[in-house]
Amino acid sequence: MTDNNIKFVVVGRPSDQTILGAEAPYAIKKTIKQEYIDNAQELINTLGQSSPYPELRDEAETIYGTWYTYCDHNVLSYSVLTNNSYKKNVAYDLLKEVCKVVYEETAGLQSGHASMEQVPIKDIVQNVCEKYQNERNVDKISMAQSKVKEVTNVMQDNVKNMVRNIHDAEELEDQSNNIKGNAEQFRKHAKGVENAMKARNRRLNILIICIILAVLLYIIVPIIVWASKD
């Protein structure tokens, strides 16, 4: 693996096929730099004719190496020229970091010639590319970050499950309390029905007794009257 895996970085605006900034991470001859710029201009021209969109990723192999291109939400293009053996995922991570730093430097200004002229593209390219020249180290960092993200996601899932379990337990407790309340209401209602039935039975028994007494009186009284006449 050579020390110069990353050869050139270009920031462009495909909508009007303009290069806003172009730098190498190390000193190169003007003629070579111009060849890289001309090659990048061809890529931006092609990109501008194909209606680029945010998060677009493009890859093109040339005689100089492999160009990787990434478009941001303003549809600015960020391209890097690398050796053909350079890993694709690392190249796109580099472009995303360049994109992030450019936004921080422009501090929310509308991207254009005026604002981009104030952005230290050369310093950004040198600083970012210094980190990404050794792709193995970057891969290790990415793997560590992925592990951290994975563990974080697992912890978040565990917390969500715990909160969900607590919520479910509270719902079960509420349902249990509702069942207890309903059971108590049913018991009271059943007791009321029982008392009502007892009262009804008492009234019915009294009525039956009264009817029996009336019948007996109806039979006995005439007999007594008839007997007294004799």
d(CA 101, CA 112): 16
> 230 pLDDT band (50/70/90 cuts)?
low
Quick check: 128 and 11 in contact, CB under 8 A? Answer: no
pLDDT exceeds 90 at position 80: yes
pLDDT tens digits, 45-77: 988 888 777 788 889 999 999 999 999 887 789
Is the pTM of the predicted complex or chain greater than 0.75?
no
In tens, the pLDDT along 174-212 reads: 887 888 878 888 888 888 888 888 888 888 889 899 999
Q: Identify whether the C-beta of residue 54 lies closer than 8 Å to the C-beta of residue 81.
A: no
Name the band, by pLDDT with cuts 50, 70 and 90, for residue 111.
very low
- Per-residue HEC secondary structure of 14-56 comes to CCCCEEEEEECCCCCCHHHHHHHHHHHHHHHHHHHCCCCCCCC
Number of neighbours of residue 134 by Cβ within 10 angstroms: 14
Q: What's the rounded Cα separation, in Å, for the pair 66 and 91? A: 10
Residue 94: name the closest of 104, 82, 106 by CA. 82
Strand order across the 77-82 sheet: 18-23, 6-13, 77-82, 65-71, 57-62
Q: Residue 112: its pLDDT value, please?
A: 45
**Fold of the CATH domain 6-133:** Beta-Lactamase (3.30.450)
Res 162 pLDDT > 90:
no
Residues 6+ apart with CB under 8 A from 108: none
